[in-house]
Structure 1
């Protein structure tokens, strides 16, 4: 232990070694030392927290032991967003959520019966295929035959109860449209649908899951314009409230588009719903809408991309160096940290970018 801890002060140490050492420290009763070892501290080797699944689970357990349940819950949700069947993660999530009295997100169902068949018509559009399904609705590739263009046709599951979300998504996207914001083409709140520009590349989530993840590198080419889009949202007095890979579309690798304003809120308003794994500990503790929560979601997107790129490099890919990824890991770690260390809004985030 002494040899490893001494080496950490001078050199980066792999996550499995840090986790093993933290386990030993925790078993000895030094939980604070174990947490510092995992979350980072003084010295170049401790600048970035662990991101492996075993490391994050241990961090969550240590935070819970210290009574920091919001941070523990936020950490275990990061695990579940990546690996839903991680051993013990769901049980911890349910137990800590119950202890905090945190209600379940209102937009969590993925088994809704909303379904349109190919060639079916709804409004002026011809439906081609389903491309995405979420808690609020289903997105289809559709064709506007009159104007001869493709579009994304989003049909809400519950057009009556979700009317407020649909109105908000349509109005905010239209009001904020510009660089970095998906373009709203049409909407019919009474029928429960909106039409948006078609983005053939899909979202960052799509690229991470099945596409060529090397398109996301260099990270700066999409991370900076995405931060600029958030800065515009915050400058208008709103919090997006659902920044995650599925809501960042890619018109081009250097042209990200922030979409899905369905749960966006004016700054200071209560939240309604959210995506587990991308909500800050402060938000989980009950804080009202705050731009720092979007900064947290932004950092989680960066973290997801960095982790995926590191996996590809470990498998033999050579599109990026560890040093290049480390720069973005450091930025992500800062934005995932406590509020005083996190940029206050999108404008401050832009200033903090490498």
Structure 2
């Protein structure tokens, strides 16, 4: 039985109970009833009948939510608010559930419906509405995307937490923090749930984290031109190789020599995995704390999105397919990148993405070591060792970040990628198990 069928069955049962006669046999006037009205004055009309009929008509309009001639999103939410806590509440939700059976509803409507279901104690039903539920009953109907608005993610996080699914709760709230650091209550929830999971606290900022270097770059042939990125491990500069006359990406670690082992492992792994889809390393000095990488003038997916140039990323398959092939090659070599996010996907050209920053990469099955909030799978947050499915989750998050910006532009051909993002971010056992399966899914 589908989610929608279960919801309708429960709600239908409540509606029947509320409509059943209470006491008496339904015949004759009950004791103490008001006397009949004098002849010629017509039958008495119960007080409030027009208002009740109007409320019933409004609730019935919810059945057309999402339809071309149905109520607007604002109307639907207003009707739900008026019905909340009244005998019409179950009927209102039942109409919306029936509408979801036939068409995709906007995020604000689904969030309002899920909030009402949660208030009624149906947490599983509320999560189903937010997650998109099972495939729709109508043949050929599309499957809904999980709600991706800040309000929807916060509500989903609270529901996961109340059901004891703290890793999924933490994953959802980190997705909120990535886009809106000041979202009310998000940081408090994040601290509380991390503590409950026993997750390591983020390291306190160190004095070295400012990483201000002189334009000469010390004992190197590189002349620094400008800073282009900054992360947890170091800062990246555009630089010029004054000997060979080429541009390079010059990454300076915050530790300036104190991160020797970390830097050495990152550089060696990038060289070992060198090939399509992996950034090229030209030189490194673990003692001085720097790596010289190929210069990718277009920058990262994150740079394109921040510049408001999301339209350049359509069609998605142009860069998403080769990115899947790069992950497949990494997984085939027995490694997990462990930090797949827009900032680590560089674009030599729009059809030639390369993965950078292998500082968190680990052999499959090895203990994981941190990650970028908002792009770490719930299973990894729960303590699972490094697994290719973690990279698949990160790939799904990258797709989600791009889709959220392309959808309002009316870009075509998004549906297959929305479905793939849904699978990548969904339950672990429904996710493509590795990069090879991802490649099969995008071909």
* Superposed pair shares fold, TM > 0.5: yes
Deviation at 1:104, TM superposition (A): 2.6
1:338 and 2:435 aligned: no
- State the Cα distance separating 1:329 from its structure 2 match: 1.4
Pairwise CA distance, 1:326: 2.5
Residue 63 of structure 2 corresponds to none
Q: What's the TM-score once normalised by structure 1's chain length?
A: 0.94
Which residue of the partner structure matches residue 345 of structure 2? 248
Distance of 1:84 and 1:45 partners within structure 2: 33
CA distance in 1, matches of 2:317, 2:120: 42
- Determine the structure 1 residue equivalent to 2:174: 77
Three-state SS of the structure 2 residue aligned to 1:288 is: coil
Quote the residue 1:288 is aligned against.
385
Displacement after TM superposition at 1:120 (Å): 4.8
Q: Is the 8 A contact 1:110 1:133 kept in 2?
A: no
**Root-mean-square deviation over aligned CA pairs:** 1.7
Q: 1:118 aligns with which of 202, 215, 219?
A: 215
- Would the aligned equivalents of 1:242 and 1:275 in 2 still touch at CA under 8 Å? yes
Contact 1:10 1:45 in 2 (8 A): no
Q: Could you tell me which of 162, 186, 189 is aligned with 1:89?
A: 186
Contact 2:249 2:293 in 1 (8 A): yes
State whether residues 107 and 273 of structure 1, in contact with CA within 8 Å, keep that contact through their aligned partners in structure 2: no
**Matched-pair contact (CA < 8 Å) for 2:216–2:222:** no
State the 4+ residue runs in structure 1 displaced beyond 4 angstroms: 105-111, 119-122
Q: Are the equivalent residues in 2 in contact too, given 1:106–1:274 (CA < 8 A)?
A: no
Q: 1:306 to 1:112 in 2, by over 3 A?
A: same
Higher mean C-alpha deviation, range 5-14 or range 121-130: 121-130
> Could you give the per-residue CA deviations for residues 148-189 of structure 1, whole angstroms, max 9, x where no partner exists?
100000010113442222111111111111111111111111
Q: Distance in 2 between matches of 1:40 and 1:110?
A: 46
Mark the structure with the bigger radius of gyration.
Answer: 2
Contact 2:208 2:254 in 1 (8 A): no
Query: Structure with the greater relative contact order (CA < 8 A, sep ≥ 6): 1 or 2?
Result: 1
Q: How many residues align?
A: 346
- Counterpart position of 1:349: 438
Query: Which residue pairs with 1:272 in the alignment?
Result: 369
Correspondence for 1:196 = 293
Q: For the Cα contact (< 8 Å) 1:335–1:342, is it kept in 2?
A: yes
| 1:1-354 correspondence to structure 2 within 5 Å | 1-42=93-134, 43=136, 44=141, 46-105=143-202, 112-311=209-408, 313=409, 318=410, 320-321=411-412, 324-353=413-442
Q: Deviations over 1:49-77 (max 9, x none)?
A: 11111111111111111010011001111
Contact 1:113–1:157, Cα closer than 8 Å, also in 2? yes
Change (3 A) 1:174 1:257: same
Task: Return 5+ residue gaps in structure 2 as ranges.
Answer: 1-92
Aligned with 1:112: secondary structure? helix
Secondary structure class of the residue paired with 1:153: strand
Alpha-carbon separation, structure 1, partners of 2:434 and 2:202: 24
The answer to whether the 8 A contact 1:37-1:46 is kept is: no
